[in-house]
Amino acid sequence: MMFSVTDTIVAIATPPGRGGIGVVRLSGPAACDIVRGLITHDGALQPRHATLTRLRSHAETASFGVAGDVDRRALTIDHGVVTFFPAPHSYTGEDVVELSGHGSPVVLGAIVASAAGAGARLAEPGEFTLRAFLNGRIDLMQAEAVGDLIDAATPLQARAAFDQLDGTLTRTIADIDATLFDLIARLEASVDFPGEGYHFVEAGAVALAIDGLIDRTRALLADARRGRLIREGLQIAIVGEPNVGKSSLFNALVGSARAIVTDVPGTTRDLVTEVVDLDGLRVTLVDTAGLRDTTDPIEVEGVARSHQAVAVADLVLSVEDQSRPRSNGSDSSEEREPFRRADWLATRASKVLYVANKADLAPAWRDDRVVAVSAVTGRGLDVLHRRIAAALDVDLQRDRPSITNVRHIAIVERAQEALMRAHAAALPENGSMPEEFVLADLADARAALEEISGRRATEDLLAHIFARFCVGK
């Protein structure tokens, strides 16, 4: 059913809940016919013209309490605008009709129900975009970019997704593929006319051409880590002993009083998470329970969760209270171990940034290695932001990376490996293996690239990719 494209689908395209306007979208061969029954306007629908009309819903009159009368009656329920996008120049490539009414879940729900009563099927998640892909309006990278754009939590994420929707990666991959195709064609000609030897393409030239392709995949992959960070975001866990101000710092970074703050040590007992835009990066901040030995069963569980948060975080902010002597009592020693948990953190966390909080109070110790901040006054938070970006090693000022998606990264890596095998086989100093060997590896590289664009996507892959979309997209 997921891949049926012969029927007409319907869904609310705007987010759940109330809004100024709400849009119901239909796509498929019967879209216009079905909509006829839902509007009072009875002229032909002009392609791509907004037409003001009344929207009707077909209600079972019985449900309105008129006993015995089960006629379906059309009730005018809203004023709206209807727009018809004829195939093939629509979002899905099929006939699409959009009905905009006021953003009332009741009105929009009634319109969808009436459309379903008239023969439309309720759309599956992502099915409009899936149809756009199946009808060749967009490739798989662009379909994935639609999902990324909708999910973007920072302007940087949105721009990276839009670039892909706009086709930047599509074109880069298509360029590599075109060169590959040309090379394969010439090598095949040499195989088909063996008498001519390498006449169609000389062995050294093959190796050189493949080398150029490897360079292009390398350039794509070079920026991939940054791209992935932009797309997927990362996790930062705030850990430390009780009462040092972890939750206060969390709230200061989030910009709202999300986590409970009290002067009672052991206030936070569970992980509190919030997604924030940290200088363009999508960061999931995690506030944790203060680390201490305790017998309180709730707190014991909280501390266990703090440990888990440390294990999965991309960066840990280890927070101390600068207004109190360090708990290991070593603050007077020259050779002091900076932090009691430093060793422990070093073994569990991928990266640690040391933070001294409560810098608005008189300091009980100093240490150049820590970032001094005050969660209360906001002092030092700008420095902390910069140190976080530096610790994560992401240069956000540079151009947007063209590759951001792990699926694409894995496939480009595979294509690159196949190209390297082909290169080794083609090298004259390796005795220039027969064209067949080179060809097999080049074909592998091409097959990989076709998986990115979706030309070779399996149903499982498509189901997996579109399942994360919401209904109506």
Ligand X SMILES: Nc1nc2c(ncn2[C@@H]2O[C@H](COP(=O)(O)OP(=O)(O)OP(=O)(O)O)[C@@H](O)[C@H]2O)c(=O)[nH]1
Residue number, 53 or 374, with CB nearest to ligand X: 374
Identify what 361 binds: ligand X, Mg ion, none; CB under 5 to 8 Å per kind.
Answer: ligand X
The least CB distance from residue 403 to ligand X, in Å, is 39
Cis previous bond, 88, omega within 30: yes
Partner whose binding site includes residue 375, from Mg ion, ligand X, none (CB under 5 to 8 Å by kind): ligand X
Rounded Cα gap, residues 329 and 2, in angstroms: 64
User: Tokens for 78?
Assistant: 């809203």
54-62, 207-215, 241-249, 412-420 -> range binding ligand X (CB under 6 A): 241-249
Give yes or no for residue 267 binding Mg ion (CB under 5 A): yes
Q: Find which of ligand X, Mg ion, none residue 228 binds, CB within 5 to 8 Å per kind.
A: none
Least Å from the CB of residue 291 to ligand X: 8
Return d(Cα 144, Cα 173) in angstroms, integer: 15
168 binds ligand X (CB under 6 A): no
Q: Of 83, 92, 248, 404, which lies in the binding site for ligand X, with binding defined by CB under 6 A?
A: 248
Reported in sequence order, the residue ranges of 104-186 that DSSP labels E, i.e. its strands, are 121-122
Whichever of 253 and 261 has its CB closer to ligand X, that residue is 261
Between helix 406-426 and helix 224-232 the angle, nearest 10°, is 160
* Closest CB to ligand X among residues 357, 405: 357
Which is it for strands 50-60 and 9-12: parallel, antiparallel or unpaired?
unpaired
Which of residues 41 and 324 has its CB atom nearest to ligand X in the complex? Answer: 324
Site string for ligand X, 38-77 (x = CB under 6 A): ----------------------------------------
Sheet holding 121-122, edge to edge: 50-60, 72-85, 96-103, 19-27, 9-12, 121-122
Among 57, 247, 322, 374, which residue interacts with Mg ion (rule: CB under 5 A)? 247
**Contact (CB, 8 A) for 456 and 130:** no
How far apart are CB 258 and Mg ion at their closest, in Å?
Answer: 11
- Return the number of the residue (361 or 406) whose C-beta is nearest ligand X: 361
**Cα separation of 225 and 165, whole Å?**
20
How far is it, in rounded angstroms, from Cα 286 to Cα 71? 56
Residues across the chain? 473
CA dist., res. 234 & res. 215, Å (int): 29
Return the number of the residue (247 or 318) whose C-beta is nearest Mg ion. 247
Nearer to Mg ion (CB atom), residue 246 or residue 446: 246
Quick check: 356 and 318 in contact, CB under 8 A? no
Q: How far is the CB of 284 from ligand X (least distance, A)?
A: 18
**Residue 266 binding partner per list Mg ion, ligand X, none, with a CB distance cut-off of 5 to 8 Å that depends on partner kind:** ligand X
Contacting residue, 244, 286, 439, 445, with ligand X by CB under 6 A: 244
Task: Provide the minimum distance between the beta carbon of 318 and ligand X in the complex, in angstroms, as a whole number.
Answer: 12
Of 73 and 258, which CB lies nearer to ligand X in the complex structure?
Answer: 258
Residue 81: name the closest of 41, 107, 111, 52 by CA. Answer: 52
Q: Distance (Å, rounded) from C-alpha 455 to C-alpha 472?
A: 24
Q: Which is nearer to Mg ion, 246 or 473 (CB)?
A: 246
What is the rounded distance in angstroms from the CA atom of residue 176 to the CA atom of residue 348?
A: 41
251 belongs to the binding site for Mg ion (CB under 5 A):
no
> Measured between alpha carbons, how far is 423 from 198 in angstroms, rounded to an integer?
16
Helix axes 140-151, 155-166, angle to 10 degrees: 160
Element (H, E) at 80: strand 72-85
Min dist. Cβ of residue 267 to ligand X (A): 4
Which of 217, 268, 322, 357 lies at the binding interface for Mg ion (CB under 5 A)?
A: 268
Question: What residues between 254 and 273 interact with ligand X by CB under 6 A?
Answer: 261-263, 265-268
Between 92 and 243, CB nearer to ligand X: 243
CA 31 and chain centroid, separation? 31
CA-to-CA distance for 344 and 300, rounded, in angstroms?
18
Q: Give me the half-sphere count of Cα atoms (radius 13 Å) on the Cβ side of residue 227.
A: 24
Spatial CB neighbours of 305, under 8 Å, sequence gap ≥ 6: 270, 271, 288, 289
Site string for ligand X, 271-310 (x = CB under 6 A): -------------------x--------------------
Comparing CB distances to Mg ion, the nearer of 217 and 374 is: 374
| Residue 401 contact partner, candidates Mg ion, ligand X, none, CB within 5 to 8 A by sort of partner | none
Enumerate residues 349-388 that contact ligand X by CB under 6 A.
357-358, 360-361, 374-376
Q: Using CB under 5 A as the criterion, what x/- string covers residues 344-383 for binding Mg ion? A: ----------------------------------------
Contact 296, 282 (CB under 8 A): no
Contact between 252 and 378 under an 8 Å Cβ cutoff? The reply is yes
The amino acid at 123: A
Q: Where along the sequence are the contacts to Mg ion (CB under 5 A)?
A: 246-247, 267-268
Q: Where along the sequence are the contacts to ligand X (CB under 6 A)?
A: 242-248, 261-263, 265-268, 290, 357-358, 360-361, 374-376
